[in-house]
Structures are given as C-alpha cells and as structure tokens.
Amino acid sequence: MNNKTISDAMKIKLEEIFPELPSYPEFVPGIRRAPKREFVLSEKETVLALKNALRYVPEKWHGVLAEEFLEELLTRGRIYGYRFRPKERIYGKPIDEYRGRTLAGRALQVMIDNNLDIDVALYPYELVTYGETGAVFQNWMQYWLVKRYLEELEEDQTLVIASGHPFGIFKSHPTAPRVIITNGLMVGLYDDLENWNRAASLGVASYGQMTAGGWMYIGPQGIVHGTYSTLLNAGREKLGIPRDKNLAGKLFVSSGLGGMSGAQGKAAVIAGGVGLIAEVDYSRIKTRYEQGWIHTIVDTPEEAFNLAYKCVHEKTARAIAYFGNIVNLLEYADRKNLKIDLLSDQTSCHNVYDGGYCPVGLTYEERTEMLRENKTRFTQLVDISLKRHYLAIKALVSKGAYFFDYGNSFMKAVYDAGVPEICRNGKNPDEGFIWPSYVEDIMGPILFDYGYGPFRWVCLSGKDEDLEKTDQAALACIDKRRFQDLDNYNWIKNSRDYNLVVGTKARILYQDAVGRVKIALRFNEMVRNKEIGPVMIGRDHHDVGGTDSPFRETANIRDGSNIMAEMATHVFAGNCARGMTLAVLHNGGGVGIGKAINGGFGLVLDGSERVDGIIKTALAWDVNGGIARRAWARNPNSLATAVEHNLNSGDQITLPYLADEEMLASLVRRKYVPGGK
Ligand SMILES: NC(=O)c1ccc[n+]([C@@H]2O[C@H](COP(=O)([O-])OP(=O)(O)OC[C@H]3O[C@@H](n4cnc5c(N)ncnc54)[C@H](O)[C@@H]3O)[C@@H](O)[C@H]2O)c1
C-alpha cells in the first residue's frame, strides 16, 4: 500500500481543505494556554506518537510537520497540530453561515465552534473548553476533518467519532443519530490516569469531560442554574431557611473562577447571598469581573472578610473575588474564628497533579513553571497544600460551617494526598467520605431523584429575539407541581436580567421528564410555525441518568450499584436507538479518568413531526432511564416519581419491594458466618 492509493481513496482529507501547507499561526498574547501535560513516552513510543499524528497529513508535509509535532510533544506533552489552527476567530455563528447538506450537520458545527470560542473556552489554542482538560478534539487536524464531514453528511449517514478522531461517515437511516461520539473510553484494566496520559500523548485518547467533548457546553451559564439550586437548597436543608426565602445575610465561601467554577459568585448573588471566591489566576478573575459576575476584587483575606461581613450584615447580595490561594483564605478564617455558613471548593481537583490545583505558596505563574520544570516537587507541594486545605475545612466545620464537596473530587484528592481520615471508614473511600457531596445531600434527593436536571437549548439562528421567545414559551410551559418547579419558574422569569449568555444564544433550565418533553414539543411547534429558527436541545451529562459516578452523580445510590456504569451506557444506547441527532459517551467527566462514565445528547428541532416523535420517546427515556435506576436503588423520591410515571404513561418501570431492615439485621445477626458456610 502506498500513500497515493490511500489519498486517492479519500474524498475528505487535509490536503483537500489545505491545498498548501498553511503558515504557522500567531499566538495572541494574553490568551490562556494549557500547561504542559504529563509526557511519559519512551523514545519508541514517541516515534509511534509522531507516526500517529502524521496519519492525518499527506506525505509531502511529513518532513516539516514531524519536527513541529515533536517539538509540541516535548514542550506541551501533546500534539495539537497548532499549524492547522484557524487564523480567523472561531465562534458559534448563526446557522445560516455554515455549509452543509443537512440541518444537523450545520447545527453541530455551530456547537463545535461555540465550544472553541475564545470567550467561552478555557484554553482555546489547545481545544480545551473547560474543566482544565475537557477537550473538543485532540488536535486541529481532527477539527477540520470533522467539520468537513459535517458539511458532507447526508440525512441517511452517521459520522462516528472516537476521542476526537472521525472514523468516517457510514450509511445509517434518517432516524439514526447523525453523529455518535465517544471520548476516553478505556479497557478496565488500563482505565487509570497513567495509562490515559500515555494514550493521550500517543494521540489515541481524548478527555471529553462532559459537554466539552459532547459539544453541548454553553458557557458558565450552564452551571449557574445548578449552583444556584444547590446553594439555595443547601440553605433550606442545612441553615433552616424557609422554602420561600433566599440566602440573604448568608456567606458562601469557595474557590475557583474558571470555566464552571466561575458561576459560583453569580449563583450566590442570584440566591441573594454573599459569595467569597478565591482564585489564583488573575486573568480568570478579570473575565468574571468584566462579565459583571464578580463585583469586587480584593487582595488580602482581611479585606475579603471585612467586605463580606459588611454585605452579610446589610443583607446585600455580592460576589467578591479574593485574588489568592483558598488555603490562605480559609486558614485566616480559622485563625480569626470567622463564621462561614456554606463552604465548598471548585478547583480542578479531578486532575490535581496536572495543573488543576495550585499549591499554597506558589503563584499561578510559579505553578505553571514548576509543572514544566519539576513535576516531582510540584506533586509534593500539591499534597502538602491539600492536607492544609483539609485541616482548615475541618476546623471551620467544627465551628459550624456546612461543607460540601462540589463534584470536583476534592475529597478523593485529599485522600490521594495521604489523608485517610477523610474517609468514613478512616481507611479508604469504599464507604465514602466524612463530608457529603452536594449530590448526596442536596442535588441527588431534591433534584435528580425527581428527574430534575440541566436541560438546555441553543437558538441556532443566533438571534436574541429567538432566545426571548423561547424563554417566554418555556415559562408558559412550567406547571408549578412541586416547589422545584417554582424555583425553575423564577429562574427562567428572571433569566434575561441575570445577563448570563456568553457565546451562542443559549439557555439552561432545570426540568424533569414531563417539563422537558412539554417545552421541547412547544419549541418544535414554534419552529414549525416559523416563529423561531431551528433550536438545538440537549443537557449537561451531569444529570439524572447521564452519569454513573460514585464520586458525584450517583453518590446517593446506595444499593451497591454505584460502582456500575450501566445506567449511563443504557441511556446513551437508548438515545441512539430513539434517534437523537447526537449521542455521546465519555470516560471521566468532572471527577477524572476511571471515576465516571457519562453521556449526553443533542437534538435538532427542525419543526418536523418526526422530531415530535423523538422528543416523546428519546427525551422521556433520557430522564426515565435514570429514574428507573434511582427508584430500583430505593431512593424514596425516585420511587414516588416512578410510581407516578407507571400510572400515567404506557411505560412500566420495575419497582423494588421494600424489606424490613430490622428483620433482616436480626436474621443476619443470628445466622451470619464470616466467609459463608
Ligand atoms: N459540580 C458540578 O456541577 C461541576 C460541574 C463542572 C465542573 N465541576 C468540577 O469543578 C472543578 C472546576 O471546574 P472548572 O471548569 O471551573 O475548572 P477550571 O480549571 O476552569 O477552574 C478551576 C479554577 O480553580 C483555580 N484554582 C486552582 N487551585 C486553586 C487554589 N488552590 N486556590 C484558588 N484557586 C485555585 C484555577 O486557577 C482555576 O481558575 C472541576 O474539577 C470540575 O470537574 C463540577
């Protein structure tokens, strides 16, 4: 086989997109760059990595690019193919500006470009959207090929993508997904960070996080709603705030103003409280400040708490950024015996040793430098810092703060840093950790178990008026069946005033199965009536049935099945079978490789009756798959929801009979034999 035969057998290829090797692009100073990633390849493996990357490139450019790719690998730990990075600004343009044979093909290009928009993405040059490592593709060659495939895609074809790499387009049928994506799925024996890092350097694995690799990220707005609901409900559950009141006069302290964590200050303010957030990277504080999501920036813990208490006493909602390390802020609060109501953390602890967590004592720049120059020392400093962080939280909790893990694997990272006392059993995480995660205490029982999750939509026309019309339509669809519906109603009613849109015209709205189906059908009708342009609906993977992770989404599943990853897999498969436009399955997500399997979807509303059918089947399944699992685990709110579903739909969820625990305990006490008979 020679390269001419190979090239002649492909219509979509890099040299068709670039007749000449493009000139090397400039890097605009001030745009955040990903730190060097772990590079552990041997000489032989390095050859393999280069050979792998050159698979995308015609032979005539191999000489130039082999050297360039090697330089990228040695200095960045990955091959990004910077040369192929588009020179013009990438952003989610109105759908009419994209080429493509299908609406879906054009719609998905909007989503990709939105995920890589400089205003949206964390490290746009390295194709990372959020969560430190959450990538849309591994390299720019994949970006171009996928975009070309989407242009060429027909109504009876499916594009298949594995860790950013397009396998190609294959004949399917009009009601099959147009695109199926997997990211970072590894064989169990190798499913750990070390092997993943090797695979990523070799160019065969991508970390999709959740909506980054699933192309459904809509900026930090996506998490503002979830964080708002979490804080509000934490206040109700733990601080005794009545259901009709907000967090006025309460102080929430946390860290991180990055991709997702950036929502914390804004969410605290929407909930009426005071948010004090530590952040070591000034550029991220600046982004949030310019957006109006942070009101004041302070440099010392003293200033931070003085201002925070002033606002607490005046009951003024305020978002304060402390430019510095969270450990310094918390140790100060402990030393001065300061009262904190709600306490959390949203540094990127799912990946502490690769830049996600800045050790106390280092500035952000020093952290980047040390990561590159002395990884061993960096790792030691991370462990020392996490221990101090843990001790400060422990002290503050003993003084009345309610601490919850915010799904970033903080407690697992503390354990890995050498603190077994953070485990419930004092030894290992098998029985969980001493503090609850927000899913265990709040989001699981109050939202997910009923089916409420982060439903979202993007107005593909790019028109603000379409967003306004969809907001109004969604508002009209909400029946106030439960108190959660009232919160969601208030959210969408005020959403425009929150000024949340960054990137495409998108909206997040927590809804249960009934609400999602109702709203989607209404939107599709509006598209049909030409009241609005086409709409992409989807959700965060962090949802009722989207993710299996004992460290987060399924932390409140206690029948022993929280180590199983079958719910997310079934939800993904069921979404494919029922014709979602896009179906996605990933390893990792918010808590790290090997710790979660998560999936998502996208559905283009084109106004057709065919799509009405998909909404009624797929969208309902997407939530009810999760309800079935949660009900089978005996979660009371899911059981009630499943009973209601069985009585009001043609579906039947298998429901668990409930056993008398005391009877069982007494039986086992009498008859138990260690190791069995
Ligand atoms: N709970 C959820 O719903 C949810 C959703 C998304 C992400 N997450 C998790 O939250 C974490 C953060 O996500 P993100 O997208 O914001 O990541 P990110 O990397 O964009 O932001 C984290 C921020 O923390 C800052 N930081 C790191 N160490 C610090 C320290 N010691 N003190 C102060 N600031 C520090 C970083 O500079 C960065 O800006 C991730 O682990 C992610 O998986 C949780």
pLDDT digits (tens, 9 = 90+) for 406-427: 988 899 999 999 999 999 999 9
Ligand 1 closest atom vs CA 262: 16
Looking at residue 477, what is its pLDDT?
Answer: 97
Q: Using alpha carbons, list the distances in angstroms from residue 365 to 32, 34, 78, 106, 351.
A: 12, 12, 21, 40, 18
Ligand 1 closest atom vs CA 364: 37
Structure tokens belonging to residue 126: 């390295």
Distance 17 CA to ligand 1 centre (A): 37
Mean pLDDT of 52-63: 98
For the chain, give the mean pLDDT: 96
Residue 284 Cβ < 6 Å to ligand 1: yes
Mean pLDDT of 328-336: 98
Residue 24 reports pLDDT greater than 90:
yes
Residue 219 reports pLDDT greater than 90:
no
Q: What is the rounded distance in angstroms from the CA atom of residue 114 to the CA atom of residue 217?
A: 8
Q: What is the rounded distance in angstroms from the CA atom of residue 346 to the CA atom of residue 357?
A: 10
List the Cα angle 623/627/628 in 5-degree steps.
Answer: 115
Q: What is the rounded distance in angstroms from the CA atom of residue 52 to the CA atom of residue 105?
A: 27
Residue 183 Cβ < 6 Å to ligand 1: no
Q: What is the pTM of this model?
A: 0.89
Residue 502 reports pLDDT greater than 90:
no
**For the chain, what percent of residues have pLDDT higher than 70?**
100
Q: What is the rounded distance in angstroms from the CA atom of residue 150 to the CA atom of residue 108?
A: 8
Q: What is the rounded distance in angstroms from the CA atom of residue 548 to the CA atom of residue 254?
A: 26
Looking at residue 259, what is its pLDDT?
Answer: 82
Residue 541 Cβ < 6 Å to ligand 1: no
pLDDT digits (tens, 9 = 90+) for 608-635: 999 999 999 999 999 999 999 999 999 9
Residue 82 Cβ < 6 Å to ligand 1: no
Residue 131 Cβ < 6 Å to ligand 1: yes
Q: Using alpha carbons, list the distances in angstroms from residue 149 to 105, 145, 186, 304.
A: 8, 6, 25, 51
Predicted confidence band of residue 437 (pLDDT cuts 50, 70, 90)? confident
Distance 481 CA to ligand 1 centre (A): 34
Residue 247 Cβ < 6 Å to ligand 1: no
Decide if 456 contacts 507 (C-beta within 8 A).
yes
Q: What is the rounded distance in angstroms from the CA atom of residue 277 to the CA atom of residue 409?
A: 18
Looking at residue 27, what is its pLDDT?
Answer: 93
Ligand 1 closest atom vs CA 326: 32
Distance 122 CA to ligand 1 centre (A): 11
Q: What is the rounded distance in angstroms from the CA atom of residue 373 to the CA atom of residue 258?
A: 24
Domains of the chain: 3-157+190-202 (no CATH), 221-437 (3.40.50.10730), 447-540+597-661 (3.40.1770.10)
Distance 235 CA to ligand 1 centre (A): 22
Q: What is the DSSP letter of 90?
A: P
pLDDT digits (tens, 9 = 90+) for 152-185: 999 999 999 999 999 999 999 999 999 999 999 9
Predicted confidence band of residue 441 (pLDDT cuts 50, 70, 90)? confident
Q: What is the rounded distance in angstroms from the CA atom of residue 232 to the CA atom of residue 487?
A: 9
Decide if 46 contacts 75 (C-beta within 8 A).
no
Structure tokens belonging to residue 577: 């079978």
How many residues belong to the chain?
677
Looking at residue 99, what is its pLDDT?
Answer: 98
CA 149 to chain centre: 26
Distance 120 CA to ligand 1 centre (A): 15
Residue 601 Cβ < 6 Å to ligand 1: no
Residue 220 reports pLDDT greater than 80:
no
- Which of 217-226, 302-311, 473-482, 507-516 is the least confident region? 217-226
Looking at residue 498, what is its pLDDT?
Answer: 85
Q: Which of 71, 75, 80 lies closest to 138 in space, CA to CA?
A: 80
Decide if 437 contacts 595 (C-beta within 8 A).
no
pLDDT digits (tens, 9 = 90+) for 204-218: 999 999 999 999 999
pLDDT digits (tens, 9 = 90+) for 248-259: 999 999 999 998
CA-based radius of gyration for the chain: 25
Distance 256 CA to ligand 1 centre (A): 5
Ligand 1 closest atom vs CA 281: 37
pLDDT digits (tens, 9 = 90+) for 273-316: 999 999 999 999 998 999 899 999 999 999 999 999 999 999 99
pLDDT digits (tens, 9 = 90+) for 511-566: 999 999 999 999 999 999 999 999 999 999 999 999 999 988 998 999 999 999 99
Decide if 487 contacts 494 (C-beta within 8 A).
no
Residue 358 Cβ < 6 Å to ligand 1: yes
**For the chain, what percent of residues have pLDDT higher than 90?**
90
Residue 444 Cβ < 6 Å to ligand 1: no
Q: Using alpha carbons, list the distances in angstroms from residue 463 to 522, 533, 665.
A: 18, 8, 61
Looking at residue 232, what is its pLDDT?
Answer: 93
